[in-house]
Structure 1
Amino acid sequence: MSLTAGALREMRRLAEETPAHRDRHVDLLRAIAIGAVVIGHWLAVHVTYDGGLSGGNVLDLVSWAVPLTWLFQVMPVFFLVGGYANAASLTSHRRRGGDSAAWALRRTDRLLRPTTALLAVLAATALVARALGADGELVGIGVWMAAIPLWFLVAYLAVVVLTPATHALHRRYGLAVPVVLTVLVGAGDAARMLGWAPALGEGNFLFAWLAVHQLGFAWQDGRLPGRPKVGWPLAAVGLAALLLLTVPGPYPLGMVGQNTSPPTLAMLALALTQTGLALASQGPSSRWLRRLRPWMVVVAVNSVIMTLFLWHMTAAVLGALALYPTGLLPDPPPDTTLWLVLRLPWLAALAVILLVLVAVFGPVERRSGPAPAAGARAGAAAGVLTCAGMLAVLAAILAIAMAGPGDHGLTGMSPAALAGYFAGAATLRLTRARFRRAPS
């Protein structure tokens, strides 16, 4: 009880000390998006138990659920609000005389600390499970499911690291940048669909999310103002394009999997729709969030946003292991009424598990790390180390995410990828430590 009371007092203090200039609407959108991601993933997981756990995607088995992905696919919102927040942060950092390397070190700190904790715990848990006699394939499946959020993290980290360069392009060319990126996405779609050069379509993993991130820049500096007269027309154009591209058009209807691997023009149409809705609702949302209680909730969620995201699939794995082999929850086919009814206890059980995980690992995210102060200058040598560390981290996360389910070694992950991640993360941490006391 005292721990809960202490956490509430801390959230209240943070809420009351929020600077007047902070755009609370952006934080609300991030909190709503994480809720949609968590619930959407938990509903999409189909787990079966016949002596061993296995599973798949409900969307592959229940066709009527595919249109619901238009509501639960909120990855564009993360990149939109990320663009807004990164632009504001970088602008403030440069105004104080800081350089790009120091900004990247500071900005990635909160992303990598909880990621390092997740990978370390997954590796240790896999080793313990192996020592206790667990089957290697089962361990691999569990680790793979828990590591599913790393797919998003690869793209987001890359976009963050590229922010100094892409923001410079934005300052010079404005909304022409996302237009060009959209054209590149369309070219990648055409190359993949027509079989000219399917590998070119893989560039959309970067081009599409960069385009949405650039819209966040435009929102932050007022080129896309948060007003209904701007937001509603954008949302209408985006929705019309989405309908044309998917219903009579060549793109599949689903916005999870089908239009995300890689992202397509249809995904960008959904992103434009969501951008318009975000702009249109900014005024009423900001006024509502001046009230203490709703703002406290938003502050609380945002204080552990990465922990919620990174650990929510671990909660699903733990829930499946606790509920299905023990018979506590039946395992009917996902196209039955009973399966639908059982989604409520399934979500409730996973929510309890996730709350426990957040209580344990949330402090890792909230803890102040050895990040350089705002306005610090890293210099050329630190810039090289930052690039090397980030390349190692990105390559390692990508390798782990792409490995798929299976027996990938004692930790359930590629030993080389895991070693590469920790080497890159250590390089970045040591580089950050040099600027911990840099003047702001």
Structure 2
Amino acid sequence: MVDATPASRDRYADLLRVGSLAGVILGHFFMAAVAMDHAAGTIAVANVLDTQPWARPLTLIFQVMPIFFVVGGFAHATAWRTVRRRGGGYADFIRSRIVRLMRPTLVFVAIGNLVGFFVEASTADDALTGPVLQVAGQLLWFLGIYLIAVGFAPALLTAHDRWGWRVLAALAGAVVLVDVLRLAVGIDGVKWLNFAFVWLAVHQLGFFYADGVADRVGARRLGGTMLGGGAAVLALLAWLGPYSTTMVSYAGEELSNLAPPTVALLVFAVAQAGALLLLRGPATRWLARRRVWATVIVAGSVAMTAFLWHFTALIGVHLVLWAFGTDLSGDPSTASFWWVKLAMLVPFLALVLLLVIVFRFAERPPKPAPPAGPSRGRAVLAAASVVLGIVGLLGFAVTGFRGAGDLYVGHLVGIPITEQVALALVALSYGAAELAVWFRTVRAYPERS
């Protein structure tokens, strides 16, 4: 794969994708403050940010979600234009995206469901096991939000090709309007719309990168402008309030910038993208080295698997400590907490690596198939697969794997949902995406059916 890499490939985008997912994995590890008390028989999970104000400004460095969405916009623009050039349609694009995301995810949730069923069937200690099972699947909210960007990518790219910066301005305006209606007018329910508007606006930045704007304007000039402008607006918003400069949610905060996203997170994403453009030149030269690029290729081929299973590894390390009778204070204000963290990092990463080796098969790219071509019917089925996937993944975000052995009901924006329903929706999403393309394959190649 190293030898076959074309000179035109943007290696920096690959590095940013791998780096953003690695940042999520390490961020979750270091933010977890787990207290274990064998005498009381309790395990309590908290966030370092909950009690340590000094750690909150660090989220300006370690909040990497916007990077993944910017790179996603770049990748989706490239993929959709390739699909159209080969005669494919919306169903072809969605199938390629859904399979890459949902195949490893379906393996993860299926095994999580089995483990949850076994745990709940073999223990009645719901006060201890229930919250752990619930946390184990909550990271899937990220993929649910990302599927929104996947589903809208072709339409927004078409709009981008026609109206350019006006589309980004409209999305940014929608973000501001939602915040005004929520914070100034008091219509709180409208806040959920910014899960779409903010991340779609960040995703739109990737379209400009795919168009080569950084090359035409100059990466340093554009990056400096975005960094300076974004940082200035963020500082102004924090000064005027009620926004803060903390970009990761924590218990007790007056206003979260992440859940749901706010205009502060959007301008932070602009500043972060600008900072990354400033690093593009030296990083690209570094990626020209064979061993460096080979490492990025290997990491990129298993990045989604590592993301999906790192929570399992984090839980597994703590369960091993619990089994050996280890007590943890869970107090991040002490030096001992951080020494224990560093000691746990090696077994944590080793367990992540082991899980990647076991489950990497699910992340292999799908076999190339003849394009099904544009079709309203196939597009509707493909769109349905996206909707099913979004609801299913967000359902796991509220239930996790709790309720696999009994009936635990979570609420997604006020709508009741169970783990079993979420699992069925994820499976149906994968099946609908495959079915949207399969119909054309059967009709065009009856001898293969």
1:435 Cα deviation (Å)?
Answer: 6.2
- 1:391 has 2:396 as partner: no
CA separation in 1, counterparts of 2:30 and 2:440? 44
Task: Mark the CA change 1:408 to 1:247 in structure 2 (over 3 Å): closer, same or farther.
Answer: farther
CA separation in 2, counterparts of 1:329 and 1:160? 44
Which of 41, 46, 50 is 2:33 aligned to? 46
The aligned runs of 1:299-310 (5 Å cut-off) are 299-310=297-308
Aligned twin of 2:61: 71
Aligned twin of 2:413: none
Aligned twin of 2:45: 55
Task: Mark the CA change 1:247 to 1:137 in structure 2 (over 3 Å): closer, same or farther.
Answer: same
**Higher mean displacement: 161-170 or 139-148:** 139-148
Aligned twin of 1:271: 269
Aligned twin of 1:330: 328
Aligned twin of 1:189: 179
**Higher mean displacement: 401-410 or 219-228:** 401-410
Task: Mark the CA change 1:196 to 1:224 in structure 2 (over 3 Å): closer, same or farther.
Answer: farther
Task: Mark the CA change 1:76 to 1:172 in structure 2 (over 3 Å): closer, same or farther.
Answer: same
C-alpha RMSD over aligned residues? 2.3
- 1:37 has 2:24 as partner: yes
- 1:22 has 2:9 as partner: yes
1:278 Cα deviation (Å)?
Answer: 2.4
1:179 Cα deviation (Å)?
Answer: 1.6
- 1:381 has 2:391 as partner: no
**1:341 alignment partner AA:** W
Task: Mark the CA change 1:350 to 1:196 in structure 2 (over 3 Å): closer, same or farther.
Answer: same
**2:6 alignment partner AA:** P
**1:385 alignment partner AA:** L
Which of 112, 117, 120 is 1:130 aligned to? 120
Q: Are 2:113 and 2:404, in contact at CA under 8 Å, matched by a contact in 1?
A: no
1:135 Cα deviation (Å)?
Answer: 2.8
CA separation in 1, counterparts of 2:83 and 2:428? 27
Q: Are 1:101 and 1:382, in contact at CA under 8 Å, matched by a contact in 2?
A: yes
Task: Mark the CA change 1:222 to 1:391 in structure 2 (over 3 Å): closer, same or farther.
Answer: same
Three-state SS of the structure 2 residue aligned to 1:114 is: helix
1:48 Cα deviation (Å)?
Answer: 1.9
Three-state SS of the structure 1 residue aligned to 2:44 is: strand
Task: Mark the CA change 1:405 to 1:434 in structure 2 (over 3 Å): closer, same or farther.
Answer: closer
Q: Are 1:79 and 1:212, in contact at CA under 8 Å, matched by a contact in 2?
A: yes
Q: Are 2:99 and 2:430, in contact at CA under 8 Å, matched by a contact in 1?
A: no
**1:362 alignment partner AA:** R
Three-state SS of the structure 1 residue aligned to 2:82 is: helix
Aligned twin of 1:3: none
1:31 Cα deviation (Å)?
Answer: 1.5
CA separation in 2, counterparts of 1:129 and 1:411? 14
Which of 169, 172, 175 is 2:162 aligned to? 172
TM-score (structure 1 length as normaliser): 0.90
Q: Are 2:35 and 2:327, in contact at CA under 8 Å, matched by a contact in 1?
A: no
CA separation in 2, counterparts of 1:372 and 1:235? 42
- CA deviation profile, 1:270-305 (whole Å, cap 9, x unmatched): 111111122222232222211101101111111011
- 1:121 has 2:117 as partner: no
- 1:95 has 2:85 as partner: yes
Aligned twin of 2:352: 354
Aligned twin of 2:200: 210
Task: Mark the CA change 1:363 to 1:378 in structure 2 (over 3 Å): closer, same or farther.
Answer: farther
1:63 Cα deviation (Å)?
Answer: 1.4
Quote the sequence identity (%).
37
Aligned twin of 1:369: 366
CA separation in 2, counterparts of 1:359 and 1:433? 31
- CA deviation profile, 1:156-190 (whole Å, cap 9, x unmatched): 11111111110011011111211221111111112
Which of 137, 148, 162 is 1:158 aligned to? 148
CA separation in 2, counterparts of 1:435 and 1:21? 33
CA separation in 2, counterparts of 1:431 and 1:136? 41
- 1:280 has 2:282 as partner: no
Task: Mark the CA change 1:328 to 1:410 in structure 2 (over 3 Å): closer, same or farther.
Answer: same
**2:60 alignment partner AA:** W
Task: Mark the CA change 1:138 to 1:332 in structure 2 (over 3 Å): closer, same or farther.
Answer: closer
Give unmatched runs, 5+ long, in structure 1.
1-13
Q: Are 2:304 and 2:363, in contact at CA under 8 Å, matched by a contact in 1?
A: yes
Aligned twin of 2:238: 246
Give unmatched runs, 5+ long, in structure 2.
250-255, 409-417
- CA deviation profile, 1:96-128 (whole Å, cap 9, x unmatched): 221122111112211011110110010011112
1:203 Cα deviation (Å)?
Answer: 0.6
CA separation in 2, counterparts of 1:146 and 1:135? 17
**1:113 alignment partner AA:** R
Which of 403, 423, 426 is 2:428 aligned to? 423
Aligned twin of 1:7: none
1:433 Cα deviation (Å)?
Answer: 4.3
Q: Are 2:168 and 2:201, in contact at CA under 8 Å, matched by a contact in 1?
A: yes
- CA deviation profile, 1:238-259 (whole Å, cap 9, x unmatched): 1122222224532023100221
1:379 Cα deviation (Å)?
Answer: 2.8
Aligned twin of 2:70: 80
Three-state SS of the structure 2 residue aligned to 1:55 is: strand
CA separation in 2, counterparts of 1:332 and 1:79? 33
Aligned twin of 1:227: 219
Q: Are 1:231 and 1:277, in contact at CA under 8 Å, matched by a contact in 2?
A: yes
CA separation in 1, counterparts of 2:36 and 2:185? 39
CA separation in 2, counterparts of 1:152 and 1:174? 27
